[in-house]
């Protein structure tokens, strides 16, 4: 098995999710990584330290903007020239578009939303929770390169302390890959870690009662060193920005700790956070579905429980 991992990066750092996938690839066999962008050569060390035996670098001004199609061009050449049989991606807005474009270019199978990958009887098997995670599906690939997109937060990065051999990758862009232009590029708007990478998330739902009560959520998140999330209901109501939305139509997260405040636990929300390590729910409705999948549920008043919790966490953490 010769595996290539797409190492997505932002603001001079390889994304934690990509490093996690790299760790998984290294565990299954020899793993190479690819860095695509402008001024990305300095990130090869970070890739080597996290398990890549070899890193291909496509460093070109034309690759500066994180647009998918130029990345498909680079990956397609690498797979063809180097004979990689497997290409792995950590899910993101960019990675999903790159993976699907590459699948079409190579006529290769792409399995997405995977929660694990294993070698069974000499063949690669992906594990995919489906239909709101009510069933686990084992998926395989036909002939040709095998492409896979993993759920964010599926694997933790592992520091191996190694170093990678560095090789330049060919950059030759197709005409249609140059037909899209980044006019304005996103930079993190909110303070703290972005949601997919956060180890702790405190999220608020309609049970907060009003937008002003999001300060309770923000204070607790700050005390725990985490990020703030929201449900679609409160985003639709204009209480909190869409960029913080967790759920089927928002982000899928899997932090170590997820604290749901005033969230009922609708399926729309559940599918975006149920892979979290530990789920805590605080809700005044004892029948809320969230209590069915929370590890620790508190039936109580948000306004009583959350401020007290924030205070106690601050005492514990010494600040």
Contacts to another protein from residues 133-192, by CB under 8 A:
133-144, 149, 174-177, 179-189
Please choose, out of 34-42, 47-55, 125-133, 202-210, the segment that lies near another protein by the rule CB under 8 A: 125-133
Contact pattern from residue 12 through residue 41 relative to another protein, giving x for each residue in contact according to CB under 8 A and a dash for the rest: ------------------------------
Angstrom distance (rounded) from CA 98 to CA 34 = 13
Angstrom distance (rounded) from CA 299 to CA 285 = 7
Residue 80 interacting with another protein (CB under 8 A): no
Taking alpha carbons only, the member of 173, 117, 171, 121 closest to residue 149 is: 117
Residue 118 interacting with another protein (CB under 8 A): no
Q: What is the DSSP letter of 219?
A: H
Q: Which of 96, 158, 166, 171 binds another protein (CB under 8 A)?
A: 96
Please choose, out of 18-26, 32-40, 77-85, 306-314, the segment that lies near another protein by the rule CB under 8 A: 306-314
Give least dist CB 43 to another protein, A.
Answer: 17
Angstrom distance (rounded) from CA 45 to CA 64 = 20
Q: Would you say 103 and 17 are in contact if contact means Cβ atoms under 8 Å apart? A: no
Give least dist CB 265 to another protein, A.
Answer: 13
Query: Which residues, numbered 37-66, are part of the site for another protein (CB under 8 A)?
Result: 66
Residue 97 interacting with another protein (CB under 8 A): yes
Residue 18: partners with Cβ closer than 8 Å, 6 or more residues away? 5, 6, 7, 8, 9, 89, 90, 95
Residue 293 interacting with another protein (CB under 8 A): yes
Residue 287 interacting with another protein (CB under 8 A): no
Residue 101 interacting with another protein (CB under 8 A): yes
Residue 234 interacting with another protein (CB under 8 A): no
Q: Which of 173, 209, 243, 289 binds another protein (CB under 8 A)?
A: 243
Angstrom distance (rounded) from CA 11 to CA 32 = 22
Residue 77: partners with Cβ closer than 8 Å, 6 or more residues away? 169, 170, 172
Give least dist CB 207 to another protein, A.
Answer: 14
Residue 34: partners with Cβ closer than 8 Å, 6 or more residues away? 4, 5, 6, 7, 55, 56, 57, 58, 74, 75, 78, 169
Give least dist CB 209 to another protein, A.
Answer: 16
Query: Which residues, numbered 191-210, are part of the site for another protein (CB under 8 A)?
Result: 194-196, 200
């Amino acid at each position: 098995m010769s595996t290539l991992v797409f190492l997505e990066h932002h603001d001079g750092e390889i994304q934690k999710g990509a490093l996690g996938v790299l760790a998984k690839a290294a565990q299954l066999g020899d793993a190479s990584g690819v860095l695509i962008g402008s001024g990305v050569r300095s990130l090869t060390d970070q890739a080597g330290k996290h398990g890549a035996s070899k890193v291909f670098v496509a460093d070109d001004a034309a690759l500066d903007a994180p647009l998918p199609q130029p990345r498909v061009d680079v990956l397609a050449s690498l797979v063809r020239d180097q004979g990689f049989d497997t290409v792995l991606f950590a899910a993101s807005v960019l990675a999903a578009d790159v993976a699907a474009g590459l699948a079409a270019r190579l006529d290769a199978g792409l399995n997405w939303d995977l929660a694990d990958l294993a070698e069974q009887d000499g063949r690669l098997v992906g594990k995919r929770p489906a239909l709101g995670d009510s069933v686990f599906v084992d998926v395989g690939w036909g002939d040709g390169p095998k492409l896979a997109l993993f759920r964010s937060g599926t694997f933790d990065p592992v520091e191996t302390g190694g170093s990678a051999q560095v090789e330049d990758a060919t950059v030759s862009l197709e005409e249609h890959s140059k037909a899209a232009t980044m006019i304005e590029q996103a930079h993190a708007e909110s303070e703290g870690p972005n949601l997919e990478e956060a180890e702790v998330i405190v999220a608020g739902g309609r049970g907060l009662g009003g937008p002003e009560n999001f300060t309770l959520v923000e204070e607790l998140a700050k005390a725990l060193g985490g990020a703030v999330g929201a449900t679609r209901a409160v985003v639709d109501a204009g209480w909190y920005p869409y960029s913080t939305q967790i759920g089927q139509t928002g982000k899928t997260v899997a932090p170590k700790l997820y604290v749901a405040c005033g969230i009922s636990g609708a399926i729309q929300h559940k599918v975006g956070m149920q892979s979290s390590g530990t789920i805590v729910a605080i809700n005044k409705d004892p029948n809320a579905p969230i209590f069915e999948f929370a590890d620790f549920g508190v039936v109580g008043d948000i306004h009583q429980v959350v401020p007290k919790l924030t205070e106690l966490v601050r005492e514990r953490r010494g600040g």
